[in-house]
Chain A
Amino acid sequence: MNSEHYFEDSADLVELDRYELFEGPAYRFQFKRRDFIKFFGGGILMIMPLTNLLAQEGQRETGDSGRGESNQRVPNEIGAWIHIDENGGVTVYTGKVEMGQNIRTSLTQVVAEELRAPVGSIRLVMADTDLTPFDMGTFGSRTIPTMAPQLRRAAAATRELLIDLAAQQWSVDRSSVRMVDARFFNHDSTRSLTFADLAKGLKLVRVIPENVQSVQPKDWIIAGTSVPKVTGIEFVMGKHQYTSDLKLPGMLCGKVVRPSALNAKLVSVDSKPAAAMGAVVVTDGNFVGVAARDQLSATRAAAAVRAEWKADTQPSNAELFDLLRKTVESRGDGERRGQGRGRAQGSIADGLAAAEKKLEQTYTIAYIAHVPLEPRAALAEWKNDKLTVWTGTQRPFGVRSELAEAFHLPEEKVRVIVPDTGSGYGGKHTGECAVEAARLARAAGKPVKLVWTREEEFTWAYFRPAGVIDVKSGIKNDGSITAWEFHNYNSGSAGIQHRYDIPNQNVQFHSAKSPLRQGSYRGLAATANHFARETHLDELARLVNMDPLDFRLKNLKDERMRAVLGAAAKAFGWGPRKMTPGQGIGLACGFEKGGYVATCAEVTVDRNSGAVRIVRVVEAFECGAVVNPIHLHNQIEGAVVMAIGGAMFEAIQFADGKILNARLSRYRVPRFSDMPLVEVLIVDRKDLPSAGAGETPIVGLAPAVGNAIFNASGVRLRSLPLAPKGLVT
């Protein structure tokens, strides 16, 4: 196997940044109507064609539900389906992945709402490429804005069909049929029918009519409430089986022999000592790995492999930011070298000429690691030329493609199954562990499980991109911003646009050659771009002696942004206050992926020891109609905690192709003792479509804390992490 094609081109990963949001799948699903019936058996199957979804997405803003006759052909591209079996069991199939964001619960809720059925009666089959419809992946905070509306419509169509069937059985008008707790009643409740009564003996495949009406958020009784995690009991009992917990008969344990450095090439290998220990040893291109009866044997055999690697000299942290500026590259998609990709309006020269004060600053952002607590894991099995891999990934269909390509197989010969996963945060988009396990399993002729060590996870996965951001601005003494020039090198374009009203702007993202493999991370570059922007705004407010909140409001018309800022400031008690020495407050706000966030932070700085402590954080968030308040709360709190790491101390240290702090004892992540008091305010807008919430709540903390540190100490920090070793001045 040539491992090159799946490890290479980290730049493609960064591109998720742009295609994550807009591109529909270029994929044809191969099922035909009779296959559906064969596969699902009897009952009722409701199919949501993808074309409906795309049309609906386009109309989302206007609320136009569309018209037209339902198309009863089985469509080529399918977004979702719901099956009611002959016993009345409801199963929903979706390609989305559960990894802690609790979409298994919220998607169950929206289906329960439409079917007027108890949450416990609905089962979700998720992320199994043989059972669920194609899905591009679980990222970009897209499950709630795109999958939830699909399932709502599919479930609503199922409900309407069931009402029709009940009305037919009783020969009554459908308007007299009532539906309560998954039962249908006639006008005087003398007769009732269950889902099973209606589905029995049927082999019905229906395509959702375009004009189906789902329940409006203001009328929700199950959606919109704090339903507990549907599988919670399995987790507190230790019963949930993650990929790394799975076992197959005859299974071996795998271990990859890693290169001496990143980008190293294999020169020679002596596998005899490992083979003599009874291990299966695979050498194929740049890949060297072993499989043995248990993990200890595999680890010992891998250590016995004598491999020689060769690598060129590679850069280190010290030269990183210069390097990113110097290696700005053309991407061949309209971006010309050095010019970037972005948006300009007005004239920066005019804006600066009109300004009474000007400011030019540079901000930097380190590489950080996702550190999902469950490291990458895969269990691979070959059976009759078909490859099945269980693995924790955010892109089951993407990993299926990687496997098909790596082993020169048609995609229907590969099945990827994703058990509910031990988190991802954007770090599990790729399938390298799956490919490695499958390669070992093919050689061994037995199933092989491969679980990456923490050190492998830190070294051979990918990082949140590092970046350099240059900002040049001009303001009038009344606080109005007249010019805004913003250049982001390498970290990405997510969240680079903003809601401030500035007449003259030039906002650009410049791709660069990254010395480390980089890719998606919760919120992508929105954290970096918000950090630079909101820190710079704080600096501008000080220049004209304005309160940072008033300064922002002066330049903001967007009512939703003003609403979250107002909510956070009020709960926090923003405004003039008596401060003790070393105490400081700061705020920041932001918008990304349909969500609005405002964050206020209070810190204390001990000028003698340099110790910085985040004491209190108040964060207001608005993402349209809320599907599950308690899980939204949990997501926002979690994002704030994760943000503390990147804001305060997380940074990858590297030199010459080696990651120098690839262990939890050397890479500090937020712990209990780092916790401030976190207060979350949710602005529930039942009149607006639901947006996702997995990412945007992470973007406000770093600038709010940096601004608070300035307020406390007079020291302006312009690099993330802000204070890995405390405030050193």
Chain B
Amino acid sequence: MSRITALNVNGKKLQVDVDSEASLLSVLRDELSLTGSKYGCGEGQCGACTVLIDEQMVRSCITPVGRVAGRRITTIEGLEKDGRLHPLQEAFLKADAMQCGYCTSGMIMSGVALLNKHSQPNRDEIISHMNRNVCRCGTYQRVLAAIELASNRLKQTREAVR
């Protein structure tokens, strides 16, 4: 069993000492107290554990921590920049895109991954990208609205910069 001793999380190099086979999710939650990423199914089906690895959407519950050592890991806790929420976090609040909130961080991380690679997705693209994130409370329509809201916000910001 090899050990992993350092991880790059939310822009910081953090010391750990964990079995390389341990899931990234358990290391984030139990060792680093980053509990925003949730356990929902343990098989990459519900998306509650979604984090970004080098901007890519990854299900941390089925990702052995050994595979992501040395790569850039971003969790929900790392989205806020300089005390300001990510536009998608704001959009979730505005669209009331949650009920119990357990899926919310995973939804937001998946949505951020989409907006990172495709800033103006159409509805079908959003649905196909988000389809492996489950909201059992059924707020899908509001999550779609939130992603579209954030996408429009990002577009306006870019146009203002131009």
Instruction: State the A residues within 8 Å of B (CB).
Output: 99-102, 228-229, 232-233, 235-242, 244-245, 247, 253, 294-296, 371-375, 420-423, 425, 451, 453-455, 630-631, 634-635, 637-642, 663-665, 669-673, 675, 678
Contact = CB atoms under 8 A, between A and B. Distances in A.
A100 B38 CA distance: 16
A638 B139 contact: yes
B93 A240 contact: no
B134 A236 contact: no
A675 B141 contact: yes
A372 B100 CA distance: 10
B10 to A, nearest CB: 11
Contact of B41 (A99, A641, A663): A663
A238 B102 contact: no
A-B pairs, top 5 by smallest CB distance, nearest first, are A238-B36, A641-B138, A100-B100, A422-B102, A238-B76
A509 B45 CA distance: 38
Contact of B104 (A235, A637, A640, A641): A235
Contacts, number: 173
A454 B34 CA distance: 21
B63 to A, nearest CB: 14
A100 B138 contact: no
A102 B21 CA distance: 39
A639 B85 CA distance: 30
A634 B96 contact: yes
B100 A236 contact: no
Given A373-B48, A373-B103, A634-B99, A672 B127 contact: yes
B49 to A, nearest CB: 11
A205 B124 CA distance: 59
B138 A639 contact: yes
B7 to A, nearest CB: 16
B38 A673 contact: no
A664 B46 contact: yes
Contact of A423 (B19, B90, B99, B108): B99
B130 interface: yes
A237 B40 contact: no
B141 A237 contact: no
Contacts of B101: 100, 235, 240, 420, 422
Interface in B131-162: 131-144
Interface centre among B29, B89, B140 (most CB of A within 10 A): B140
B43 interface: yes
A247 B31 CA distance: 11
A236 B108 contact: yes
Contact of A236 (B19, B46, B89): B89
A637 B104 CA distance: 17
Given A247-B33, A294-B26, A640 B138 contact: yes
Given A229-B98, A454-B42, A670-B138, A236 B26 contact: no
Interface in B37-57: 37-43, 45-46, 48
A241 B77 CA distance: 13
B115 interface: no
Contacts of A451: 39
B4 interface: no
